[in-house]
Amino acid sequence: MFQYVLRRLAVTIPVFIAITMAVFTLIALAPGDPMASYISPELGTDPAVIERLRHEFGFDQPIPIRYLNWLGQVAQGNLGYRIKTWDPVWPVIQQRFGPTLLLMSTALIIGILIGVPLGVYSALNKYSLPDMALTGMVFLGISTPAFLVGLGSLYLFSLQLDLFPAGGMHTLGKPESLLDTLHHLALPALILSANYIATMLRYTRAAMLDVIGEQYVTTARAKGLSERVVIVRHALRNALIPIVTVIGFSIPNLLAGAVFTETIFAWPGMGSLFIDGVNSRDFPLMMGVTLVTTTAVLLSNLITDVLYAVLNPKIRFGRG
């Protein structure tokens, strides 16, 4: 097992380099650079100044050199500066961890708590009316664009029904309190959870359907165990593996945040930071966020794989 983890970590390094290289290249190839983003179309800017800055940031170098420079700095723990504010990138990103984790993990937990039981229910009542209704809702949940749901629910639940505040994380001008933060958190978290609920529901349903027909389930029933015990202890436990995988894949999102929802709800998380970086072609910032996201993806994949073994003794990591 230990060897396996080591091997996996070793594979992670080239994957990490490949991903950051690809993203870096795409950013570099996008039209416009951070300097161009702060020329006013009306005001113009002294080209000499722009050139000096381009040189300072190394934009006059070929892309591979720029990438290596960036990688070299990252290896020394320097993510560079957010060009918009001249703040070091790492603290800027760190500030966003808390709000994004809070928002995304709340959404994920709601997703699991609602999605998994509904998935079990759906599987046990395959092709019934409630099952089909749930399936329909799931597709709606997955396919509705986030910005539409965000603005729509803000209009309905915040403005019309006055149930939730209009974005932000705290009520400004008042002392911060947990209750107040939760009040601000509720609507964006619920909106984001819709997607998780839908995903969890579908995977749980599929996984349950797979195991329900297995012989050990029939055996368990034959032993005279109650249906509840059969489903929860025998079927669900085995169905959990794909569900854990899906949850594992969701972990990186906890750090990466949600671009549209955070932007609409003025939630100071990683997603809104990233889009701000994109709009200002702030490549150190974009690369910083990418770095964090990539690391989270790679680590969570590893953790997911390790969890398999814990959950299912049938899975063993050996050679071949």
Site residues for another protein, 49-78, by CB under 8 A, read 49-50, 53
Minimum distance, C-beta of residue 129 to another protein, in the bound complex (Å): 27
CA separation, residue 311 to residues 156, 203, 300 (Å) = 43, 17, 16
Nearest approach in angstroms of CB 55 to another protein is 13
> What amino acid is encoded at 317 in this protein?
F
Applying CB under 8 A, which of residues 44, 175, 213, 318 lies at the interface with another protein?
A: 44
State how far the Cα of 19 lies from the Cα of 7, in Å rounded to an integer.
19
Find the binder of another protein among 74, 308, 309, 317 (CB under 8 A). 308
Select 117 or 242, whichever has its Cβ closest to another protein.
242
Residues of span 103-142 touching another protein by CB under 8 A:
none
**What is the x/- site pattern for another protein, positions 255-294, by CB under 8 A?**
----x--xxxxx-x---xxxxx-xxxx----x---x--xx
Chain residues 166-205 in contact with another protein, contact rule CB under 8 A: 166-174, 203
Chain-centre distance for alpha carbon 88: 23
Nearer to another protein, 130 or 152 (CB): 152
The pair of structure tokens assigned to 256 is: 């990466």
Among candidate residues 31, 30, 35, the one with its CA nearest the CA of residue 48? 35
d(CA 76, CA 20): 16
The half-sphere exposure of 182 on its side-chain side, counting CA atoms within 13 A, is 3
Q: Which stretch binds another protein (CB under 8 A): 85-93, 128-136, 190-198, 224-232?
A: 85-93
Smallest distance from the beta carbon of 266 to another protein, in angstroms? 5
CA atoms 241, 245, 251, 257: torsion sign:
negative
Q: Which is nearer to another protein, 138 or 246 (CB)?
A: 246
Torsion of CA 81, 84, 90, 96, to 10 degrees: 180
- Tell me if 81 contacts another protein by CB under 8 A: yes
Write down the number of H helices and E strands in the chain.
Answer: 14, 2
Nearest to another protein of 236, 297 (CB atom): 297
Q: Which amino acid is at 96?
A: R
- x/- string (CB under 8 A) for another protein, residues 208-247? --x------------------------------xx--xx-
Q: Tell me the two tokens of residue 195.
A: 């997607």
Residue 158 CB, nearest distance to another protein (Å)?
6
As measured in angstroms, the least distance from the Cβ of 111 to another protein is 17
